[in-house]
Amino acid sequence: MEFNRNGILFKYPDNWIIEENTSPDGVFGITASAPDGAFWSLSRQAANADFEYFITSTTKQLRGEYPDLEVYPRSEDISGTSLSGADFNFSYLDLTNTAEVRCLSTPTACYVVFCQAEDRDWSRLRNVFKAMVTSFIRETIGNNPSSDK
């Protein structure tokens, strides 16, 4: 399937459900949910937003919910675009979970991607999440991360 609204374009699995929201301060967000409860979300923040703030806020929020949270700072390159963020591991209802937050800044927006799945599904879904980010970068940002399409 393909999501293509509000200047954001990416591909996602056929059986996933998309939810959109816009906050009162103009932040646009999309969440793609898998049938098993895993999810991938993307939010478009103001261009001058500090992505380190979003990484720190995500960490604080997760730590408040999951006291056993393990945090690993990460950065990665996808399609020639650098993303900064963190990986998280935690337990919930006797299940271990993995999540990631990644941020990308462009001259017109700061994008924050968050994904989460139970560990028994993570190895399979990690590739799906990465494909969704890759699709977003290629289709929305293009090959030149210094400017949006």
pTM: 0.91
Does the pLDDT value for residue 80 go beyond 80? Answer: yes
* Domain architecture of the chain: domains with CATH: 2-141 (3.40.1000.10)
Task: Look at 17-21, 23-27, 96-100 and tell me which has the smallest mean pLDDT.
Answer: 23-27
Split at pLDDT 50, 70, 90, the class of 57 is very high
Does the pLDDT value for residue 24 go beyond 90? Answer: no
Q: What is the mean pLDDT of residues 54-71?
A: 96
For every residue of 70-131, DSSP letters joined together read EEEEEEEEETTEEEEEEEEEEEETTEEEEEEEEEEE-SS-EEEEEEEEEHHHHHHHHHHHHH
pLDDT at 88: 98
H or E, element range at 42: strand 39-45
Q: What is the distance between the alpha carbons of residues 68 and 87, in angstroms, rounded to a whole number?
A: 14
pLDDT at 128: 97
pLDDT at 94: 85
Split at pLDDT 50, 70, 90, the class of 146 is very low
Q: What is the mean pLDDT of residues 34-44?
A: 97
List pLDDT tens digits, range 90-135: 998 888 999 999 999 999 999 999 999 999 999 999 999 999 999 9
